[in-house]
């Protein structure tokens, strides 16, 4: 499902297992267009137990969301555009409704990377499929290699898991090679 929020206080709470925040800015380039154009499809693909959220007032909404999760993902990593996937909804006071230790958060920065046409769409498609699986976050949290590979293995082609909370870095070379292999 998809929702355009005026602020985080207007987001429906309680009935969703996942919240996926589309954090965009007002700049227009190909990656931002691709992200925006896929919001509706992504919202439909994640099903009724997850909610994709985009802000109406981008600056206010982004500030609220990023300040709510800054302790979990680090202030230095909050570059836009980005996705934040979590199982806890932040409150207007700028804190996650339940204790921060209980919130499970994945942060994907799409900024300052050279994305080829279609790669953001592919990333969103794979994230949507992973979200539909019941135990996806549990597998990611436990980091059991066999279980992780089953649901999130595709992600390791593009991102490196680092120790710590929500630590990811992007492997652009693998992404480019996969895109070339697919087109061959």
What share of the chain in percent tops pLDDT 70? 62
pLDDT tens for each residue of 22-32: 999 888 888 88
Instruction: End-to-end CA distance of the chain: give it in Å, rounded.
Output: 34
Q: What share of the chain is helix, strand, coil (3-state, %, to 5)?
A: 45, 20, 35
**What ranges make up the beta strands (E) of the chain?**
2-5, 18-23, 50-55, 82-86, 105-109, 159-162, 167-170
Distance in angstroms (rounded) separating the CA atoms of residues 171 and 114: 11
The first and second tokens of residue 24, run together, are 């965009």
Measured CA to CA, the distance from residue 170 to residue 165 in angstroms comes to 16
Q: How confident is the model at residue 156 (pLDDT cuts 50, 70, 90)?
A: low
pLDDT at residue 17 is higher than 50: yes
The reported pTM is 0.72
One DSSP character per residue, 148-182 reads: HHHHHGGGGGTEEEETTTTEEEE-HHHHHHHHHHH
Pairing state between β 2-5 and 50-55:
parallel
The residue with tokens 């297992």 is 17
For residue 70, the enclosing domain spans 2-183
| Domains in the chain, number | 1
Contact, 46 vs 18, CB < 8 A?
yes
What values do phi and psi take at 36, rounded to 5?
Answer: -65, -45
Task: Write the pLDDT tens digit of every residue in 73-121.
Answer: 765 556 789 898 888 887 665 455 444 456 778 888 888 677 888 999 9
């Amino acid at each position: 499902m998809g929702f355009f929020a005026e602020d985080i206080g207007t987001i429906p709470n309680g009935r969703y297992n996942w919240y996926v925040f589309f954090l965009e800015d007002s700049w227009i380039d190909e990656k931002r267009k691709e992200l925006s154009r896929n919001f509706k499809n992504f919202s439909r693909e994640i099903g009724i137990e997850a909610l994709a959220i985009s802000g109406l007032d981008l600056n206010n909404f982004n500030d609220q969301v990023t300040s709510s999760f800054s302790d979990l993902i680090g202030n230095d990593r909050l570059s836009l555009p980005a996705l934040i996937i979590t199982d806890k909804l932040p409150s207007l006071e700028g804190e996650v409704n339940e204790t921060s230790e209980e919130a499970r958060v994945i942060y994907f920065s799409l900024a300052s990377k050279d994305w080829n046409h279609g790669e953001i769409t592919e990333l969103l498609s794979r994230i949507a499929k992973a979200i539909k699986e019941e135990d996806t976050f549990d597998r990611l949290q436990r980091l059991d290699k066999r279980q992780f590979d089953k649901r999130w293995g595709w992600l390791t082609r593009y991102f490196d898991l680092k120790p710590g909370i929500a630590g990811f870095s992007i492997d652009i070379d693998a992404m480019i090679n996969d895109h070339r292999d697919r087109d061959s």
